[in-house]
Each structure stands twice: as structure tokens, then as C-alpha cells.
């Protein structure tokens, strides 16, 4: 029986690593654990029998700087977080805060109307309540015996 030992080419590992790192998902900064540094607004969406609730972190943003719109099932939030004026003599050692225009669209499971929506900002968290349409609520049907 003839067995040959194969050694990888020394640069082969670099080629493989380069191929993985050049994948589109790597460029977006979302691998492997996700990243909010790309301007993504941390969001929670929940529901009860009457409404949907969307909670988004918008620290440092005033209510008048928030543009909130609802079209069908898509709730869109647009904000502009202006960058602070930097002193020319300042050099950042680490800069993680995100500034500029940010847009986030949340797709809800069913339609709602802006008339049935209210939004508040408290402690840097935007809370949006969207009332569910009457047809979407659970209707109890009684069953009779014959």
C-alpha cells in the first residue's frame, strides 16, 4: 500500500481566509454576532391581542427630529443624529457612536392605520403603539350541542 503525505501550500490558508472575508456578509459588519455600529437602531417588536408595540433606541434624538410613517404593513423611522463639532486638536482613540441619517423599516404582520397609532419618546426610547384592526382580533365562537 502506498500512502503519500500531502502538505498544504503555505499560501493556501491565506487564500481561503481571503475568500471568506471577502464574502458580502462580512463587509456589512454583521458576522458573526451582529453589529449596531453600522447605524442599526436596536429594536423590539411585540404584540398583544389589541396592538403591536415597536420600541427603538434613539438616544439624543428629540421628538421633532423623528420622521415616522406607516404605509400598509411597513413602519418606517427616519432620524438624523448630527455629529458634534470636533476640536481640531482632538484625536479619537476609539469612536463607536454613530451619527448621520438613519432609516429603519419594520414589517408588521398586518395593516394598521396612522389614526390608530401613537408614539412617545422617553429616556431615549421611542415607543410606538399600533392598534390592530377589529377584524384581526380573536373572535370567540360558542359551540352548541344538538
- Kindly report the CATH number assigned to the domain that includes residue 77: 2.60.40.790
Give residue 14's pLDDT. 74
Q: Is residue 140 part of a domain?
A: no
72 Ramachandran zone, left/alpha/beta (phi>0; psi -120 to 50) = left
pTM value is: 0.62
Q: Is residue 123 part of a domain?
A: yes
144 Ramachandran zone, left/alpha/beta (phi>0; psi -120 to 50) = beta
Q: Is residue 125 part of a domain?
A: yes
Residue range(s) defining the domain that contains residue 55: 12-85+97-134
Q: Is residue 75 part of a domain?
A: yes
Total domain count for the chain? 1
**Cell triple for 7:** 502538505
List the one residue out of 99, 146, 145, 108 whose CA is nearest residue 130: 108
List the one residue out of 39, 57, 41, 54 whose CA is nearest residue 108: 54
Q: Is residue 143 part of a domain?
A: no
The 10s digit of each residue's pLDDT in 14-72 is 777 777 776 655 444 444 444 444 556 789 999 998 889 999 998 888 888 899 998 88
Q: Distance between CA 26 and CA 21 in Å, rounded?
A: 6
Q: Is residue 70 part of a domain?
A: yes
Instruction: Report the percent of the chain where pLDDT is more than 70.
Output: 75
Decide: 86 and 25 in contact? Cβ < 8 Å.
no
Amino acid at each position: 500500500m502506498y500512502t503519500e503525505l500531502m502538505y498544504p501550500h503555505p499560501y493556501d490558508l491565506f487564500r481561503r481566509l481571503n475568500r471568506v472575508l471577502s464574502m458580502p456578509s462580512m463587509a456589512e459588519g454583521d458576522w458573526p454576532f451582529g453589529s449596531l455600529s453600522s447605524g442599526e437602531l436596536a429594536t423590539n417588536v411585540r404584540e398583544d391581542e389589541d396592538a403591536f408595540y415597536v420600541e427603538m433606541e434613539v438616544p439624543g434624538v428629540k421628538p421633532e427630529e423623528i420622521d415616522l410613517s406607516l404605509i400598509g404593513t411597513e413602519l418606517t423611522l427616519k432620524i438624523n443624529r448630527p455629529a458634534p463639532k470636533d476640536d481640531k486638536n482632538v484625536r479619537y482613540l476609539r469612536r463607536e457612536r454613530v451619527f448621520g441619517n438613519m432609516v429603519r423599516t419594520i414589517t408588521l404582520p398586518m395593516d394598521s392605520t396612522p389614526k390608530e397609532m401613537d408614539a412617545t419618546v422617553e429616556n431615549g426610547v421611542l415607543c410606538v403603539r399600533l392598534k390592530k384592526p377589529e377584524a384581526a382580533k380573536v373572535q370567540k365562537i360558542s359551540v352548541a350541542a344538538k
